[in-house]
Structure 1
């Protein structure tokens, strides 16, 4: 897309809009979008990963990727409200033709949070573990068998100040069976622990509706017989995803879904954790627009961008879900 090309709205729903085109050029140069500066409560996205091989969804490599990624910092910072958040999911990178993990993703993070024009900082890192990921890097895992499967991605929570809007009471995990029994029993062994922590007599007797979430997302059980205790918004999306309307419709139509879709469970979690209803959520690399879909269901306003028409068609399928009850216009 050339600078100055007309801003094109592909579709809109009750709460949001999807634009087609290069989001970075549009957000930097389009006068209409300049109104978004300082208005976005949450940017949540999974940008193209720094892979060694070019993928159909588009991705730079090596130093080109790092330069591209770091340029995002001031653009995103300008969009965010003072208490807004930026959430980025990114995979690991490997050195070309070597069984050596690259530092590229870490250099990208450092470049973003140290950008002199952005004033960003890393609030917390999350890990998203997915044992269903195909073995990668294939050359060093399945062919030469020198490395183990790379089965997780990083999720970085970044903000403009140390205290962005957040409320972990909105994303509680279900209590464990032992905690449920403790609450019913209303007693436990208090006192000093070997770790020198002092456990009070009544500190764990209040039922808060669930336990505080961890920064480790186990999208499938590590052990077959062990219950996965994820927040309801994460677990419910994960449990229905494979047989959900979107993937089922793609299969019926012979469509290959976007190969790097961000987990809807993750998106749900951060929308609920970091925003309130009617807040504005933005995804600059939306693919099949999981972010917009989740925001719509959670009653948040949203804006998404996608450069490839094929993925926009998939986004239209996603928003055709009868459960959404928000027809496109």
Structure 2
């Protein structure tokens, strides 16, 4: 018995699969109809059956019509193109046959979603200028200006400041008063043929203030002792540098007077020594340090409190349980693994510190959607945008247990 299919959604992955399997070969519409019907289990009679369509009542096959509709969707995504002057002849674009995962300019496709958020396959410039939604927080790790580019590409050091300001401008424009931008950027960027570090990070801070009106709230270094002992050439070969163990995290806001941070949301357990002081009723001695700048009095640190205020340093390795789950999910599906991931702990900390439940958290360089994952778990709404499709396919595995999870059928 022939399988009954929806003429709209169920056929899309089959249409995409036919062109993917064809590679650089041209596919005519008749061959496309047959191949899709075969994959979807549609009988020939069902494929050819016609009904009256439109005001003129022309007899058309609804299944063939749906296939052509999905064909146009692939064209709009920049995946296929029509052979010049040939009606009904299509093939993969040259760029698509080599790198299907990179979203073309203007393309926007919901890769997956939950009740709280959505992951979009697109370039950020195609999404945020028209978002029309107040943003409480942006946590992101843009591609670093490395000399040896990663698989997802990156701007050069000269391009980086302009590149990032263009991406952030519509997000800053949509920030609520006192909203925040948190940027994780690379520290291991060096001048050409020199052991001197680039000052691109300092130029970026000035540009974010002068061009976008952001104020620096803090520098929060991410100390990662599990980083490889680089920079290899200057630290391990020429021995003129120290092995790097931290990256830069900048916290900025559009309005310091109304900044929405609250350190009570990120309190940590007291140290054993502090717990002992509380139990003993506090310090029993008096002392003065720094020419009187700091004074210790009897009874200090004796009152019970909810916890310890965190220091402005993050000490985390780069691997976490979510990273291992993502890698397993990607490997099972033959997907490329993202080459630079940060642990979910980092966006988790800033989402707790800088937002409240129900706020919107965004990431224009979504990667494996860790910002979205942290926001999902903390009851915040979220939007991540990523232009490499396979990274979102892999990230989707981290959200499968989330309420309302839906995956686009073409990514299944």
TM bin, normalised by shorter chain, reads 0.7 to 0.9
- Equivalent residue in structure 2 for 1:309, among 389, 394, 402: 389
Q: Is 2:361 the counterpart of 1:264?
A: no
Query: Quick one: distance in 2 between partners of 1:239 and 1:263?
Result: 6
Q: Is 2:405 the counterpart of 1:327?
A: yes
Task: For residues 211-245 of structure 1, give each alpha carbon's deviation from its aligned partner in whole angstroms, at most 9, with x where no partner exists.
Answer: 1100111215xxxxxxxxxxxxxxxx976456x53
| SS of match in other structure, 2:127 | helix
TM-score, structure 1 as length reference: 0.84
**Structure 2: runs of 5 or more not aligned:** 1-102, 408-412
**Which residue of structure 2 aligns with residue 150 of structure 1?**
244
Query: Quick one: distance in 2 between partners of 1:191 and 1:238?
Result: 44
- Equivalent residue in structure 2 for 1:126, among 207, 210, 220: 220
* Structure 1 residue 185, shift from structure 2 partner: 1.2
Q: Is 2:116 the counterpart of 1:15?
A: yes
Query: Quick one: distance in 2 between partners of 1:185 and 1:178?
Result: 11
**Which residue of structure 1 aligns with residue 206 of structure 2?**
110
Query: Quick one: distance in 1 between partners of 2:331 and 2:107?
Result: 34
Query: Quick one: distance in 2 between partners of 1:16 and 1:81?
Result: 18
Distance 1:113 1:263, change over 3 A: farther
- Equivalent residue in structure 2 for 1:88, among 183, 200, 204: 183
**Structure 1: runs of 5 or more not aligned:** 221-236
Query: Quick one: distance in 2 between partners of 1:9 and 1:240?
Result: 26
Query: Quick one: distance in 1 between partners of 2:226 and 2:153?
Result: 23
Q: How many residues align?
A: 301
* Structure 1 residue 287, shift from structure 2 partner: 0.3
Query: Quick one: distance in 2 between partners of 1:257 and 1:270?
Result: 25
TM-score, structure 2 as length reference: 0.68
Q: Is 2:157 the counterpart of 1:62?
A: yes
**Which residue of structure 2 aligns with residue 189 of structure 1?**
284
* Structure 1 residue 169, shift from structure 2 partner: 1.0
| SS of match in other structure, 1:100 | coil
**Which residue of structure 2 aligns with residue 27 of structure 1?**
128
Distance 1:310 1:238, change over 3 A: closer
RMSD: 2.2
Query: Would you say the 8 A contact 2:145–2:155 is kept in 1?
Result: yes
Query: Quick one: distance in 2 between partners of 1:26 and 1:194?
Result: 54
Task: For residues 232-285 of structure 1, give each alpha carbon's deviation from its aligned partner in whole angstroms, at most 9, with x where no partner exists.
Answer: xxxxx976456x533443455565531211221111100000111111100000
